[in-house]
Amino acid sequence: MISSSDQSRDILTARPPRTGVWPAFVSFGAVIAAQAYAILTSPAEGDMGHLQKIMYVHVPAAWMTFLSFFVVLVFSVRYLWRRRENDDLIAASAAEVGATFNGLTLMLGMIWGRPAWGVWWVWDARLTSTLVLFLIFVGYLALRAFTDDAQQKARWSAAVGAIGALNVPIVYMSVKWWRTLHQPPSSPATLDPRYTMGLRLNAIALLLVMIYFIRRRYEIARLERAVEHMAEAAAMGGQ
């Protein structure tokens, strides 16, 4: 079994990340290709016309929000169980990326809502629960920013992250549990096949971006933690 002191030593010996730029090019290239495919091949939808094209960015952004917060849940629980710093850093990285996608989902939803519903915002169950999810993870990031003690920061944020991520099923089910202006979730069975491929490709492309973001953010967090450990060791007499 690896002790937390072994883990600290592991982080202490971290070297600057060597990840090249190719994952960024691949993932962003995939997004450009997927968006071009979806925009060029999808016909105007019966009710919404070409406004339907917003779905190719809004829906995958929402899925990446859910996935990122699932990563937060898994690694927060792992941290609370094993107390390894790496788990805390992965959870924190996924939380930042998830909050970014969550904010993007809300903005895209508003841009969609104005022409489709006639309003930028409505206190509908889906929109409100998504906003609550966003605020929980903004609070999570603020908690980390304002807590100095690394172990306390990790413990508290693991608790907030795990509880916050439990809001994801509420967001997902909100359109089924309550009567909402937001439409219920689509599935391949309910979606016109002409739109399915574009949506899938955009989801896969954004998944690549999400993985790249979390990986990159984790490498930076690990480096920052290594600097903290080295500075602490220097302050204690250069151990």
Partner 1 sequence: MITAASNLNFIIAAYTVTWIVLLGYSLRLVRKGGRARADYERIAQQRSGEKSQ
Residues lying near partner 1 in the complex (CB under 8 A)? 16-17, 24, 28, 31, 35, 49-51, 53-54, 57-58, 61, 97, 100, 103-104, 107-108, 111-112, 114-115, 118, 209, 213, 216-217, 219-220, 223-224, 226-227, 230-231, 234, 238
* Beta carbon nearer to partner 1, 105 or 157: 105
- Considering the complex, state which of residue 76 and residue 102 has its C-beta at the smaller distance from partner 1: 102
Q: How far is the CB of 1 from partner 1 (least distance, A)?
A: 29
CB of 173 to partner 1, least distance (A): 26
Element (H, E) at 214: helix 193-235
Closest CB 227 distance from partner 1, rounded Å: 5
Nearest distance in Å: CB 140, partner 1: 17
What is residue 77's three-state secondary structure?
A: helix
Residue 73: burial class (beta carbons within 10 Å; 0-12, 13-18, 19+) = buried
Nearer residue to partner 1 within complex by CB, 103 or 139: 103
| Closer of 17 and 169 to partner 1 (Cβ) | 17
Rounded to a whole number of angstroms, the minimum distance from the CB of residue 139 to partner 1 is 19
In Å, how far are 102, 129, 195, 203 from 90, measured between CA atoms?
A: 18, 25, 34, 22
Residue 51 CB partners (closer than 8 Å, separation 6+): 45, 112, 115, 116
Take residue 230 and report the two structure tokens written for it. 């080295």
* Distance, CA of 40 to CA of 52 (rounded, Å): 13
The residue (of 193 and 237) whose beta carbon lies closer to partner 1 is: 237
CB of 36 to partner 1, least distance (A): 11
From 124, 119, 115, 118, select the one nearest 52 (Cα to Cα): 115
Return the number of the residue (59 or 162) whose C-beta is nearest partner 1.
59
Place of tokens 């930042």: 96
SS3 (DSSP) at 14: coil
